[in-house]
Amino acid sequence: MQAPKRHWTERDMPDLTGRYAVVTGGTSGVGFAMSAALLRHGATVIIIGKNRLKGEAAVETLKQQTQRQPIRFIAADLSDQTAVNQLADELLATLPHLDILINNAGVMMPAKRTVTRDGVELMWAVNYFAGFILTLRLAPLLAKTSHARVVNVASIAMGRPHLTFNQFDGRDYRPWTFYANSKLAQAMMAVKLNQLFHETGQSVMVNSSSPGLAATSLKTIQSRATAWPMRLAALCFRIMPWLRQSPQRAALPALYAATDAHAQGGVVYAPASWHGLRGYPGLWSWNSRPELHDQDLLNRLYRASRQVTGV
């Protein structure tokens, strides 16, 4: 694996004129920063979010900040597989091709188990299965362009997550474990889908990234709507705000994975300093995780994902 150049920044991004990019969760935080950078470098950007008013406001702000117009918002509830498929149908019908897909939308550790109408736990539905559906459904658009990129945005959630295949419905719910497992699955599926595109002779590259510790929307401290690790983290960040880096810096690993000519498929990029918490893009220690190299486990996850989504 080749590490990114030292101190890679947005200035190192290539010209993206004529390219189309879709960013889920692009209405705020790191996804908003990704969208702004892609716009500044010439891409036509489509941001996806659940809240229409928030999305339309984000589009206007991005136009003002970047002085560029080729951006639009599509509202979609990514926890609902029917809505995700309808989103894919709309993109297939309206885009001439797709050069960059960044599966960035996520839900982080709600205190209580929530099961979607599809019978899937909420974090698994949004963090993992939505991106899985979009990547496979949009494969015809990705195949229309040379060297298209798909980036699954994972997380710094470390610990020792253990992937199981009987908890997609949220049984034995534990917020931290389910969040970490859904993010591990994102990195694993980047490896598996990258293999599949390569085996079918397509130039589509799939990789993953982590933003590190980002100063985004982690605001609540006492709300019981979120798990206690989130409330504790919010308190720590209020006391020590310097622990987190800006959304613009946190967006760099995904932007490197999505645009740089030296990025590689099936690889996880993350901040290079503080064990993946801060800094410029680098190779992450998760690249050595056994789950990313266990072909039987990757195949099992792929089969289970197709069964859950019907894709």
Tens digit of pLDDT for each residue in 240-264?
454 568 889 999 999 999 999 999 9
Q: How confident is the model at residue 220 (pLDDT cuts 50, 70, 90)?
A: very low
Contact 195, 225 (CB under 8 A): no
Tens digit of pLDDT for each residue in 148-190?
999 999 987 655 667 888 889 999 998 888 999 999 999 999 9
pLDDT for the residue 166: 85
Write out the two tokens for 159. Answer: 């610990």
Q: What are phi and psi of 21, to 5 degrees?
A: -130, 135
Instruction: Give this prediction's pTM.
Output: 0.91
Tens digit of pLDDT for each residue in 102-140?
999 999 888 899 999 999 999 999 999 999 999 999 999
Contact 175, 111 (CB under 8 A): yes
CA distance 81 to 175: 22
Tens digit of pLDDT for each residue in 25-57?
999 999 999 999 999 999 999 999 999 999 999
pLDDT of 223 > 60? The answer is no
| Average pLDDT rounded to a whole number, residues 60-84 | 97
pLDDT for the residue 92: 98
Cα–Cα distances (Å) from 145 to 10, 13, 42, 87, 244, in that order, read 23, 18, 16, 20, 36
Tens digit of pLDDT for each residue in 11-26?
999 999 999 999 999 9
Q: What are phi and psi of 292, to 5 degrees?
A: -75, -10
Contacts of 52 (CB under 8 A, 6+ apart): 73, 75
Give me the domains of the chain, ranges plus CATH numbers.
15-212+251-309 (3.40.50.720)
CA distance 114 to 178: 12
pLDDT for the residue 275: 66
pLDDT of 198 > 60? The answer is yes
Secondary structure of the chain in the HEC alphabet? CCCCCCCCCHHHCCCCCCCEEEEECCCCHHHHHHHHHHHHCCCEEEEEECCHHHHHHHHHHHHHHHCCCCEEEEECCCCCHHHHHHHHHHHHHHCCCCCEEEECCCCCCECCCCECCCCCEHHHHHHHHHHHHHHHHCHHHHCCCCCCEEEEECCCCCCCCCCCCCCCCCCCCCHHHHHHHHHHHHHHHHHHHHHHHHHCCCCCEEEEECCCCECCCCCCCCCCCECHHHHHHHHHHHHCHHHCECHHHHCHHHHHHHHCCCCCCCCEEEEEEHHHCEEEEEECHHHHCHHHCCHHHHHHHHHHHHHHHCC
pLDDT for the residue 228: 44
Report which of 188, 71, 190, 193 is spatially closest to residue 143, judged by C-alpha positions: 193
Phi-psi region of 139 (alpha: psi -120 to 50; beta: other; left: phi over 0): alpha
| Average pLDDT rounded to a whole number, residues 208-215 | 81
| Average pLDDT rounded to a whole number, residues 49-77 | 96
Cα–Cα distances (Å) from 134 to 127, 179, 259, in that order, read 12, 20, 19
pLDDT of 227 > 50? The answer is no
Tens digit of pLDDT for each residue in 92-102?
999 999 999 99
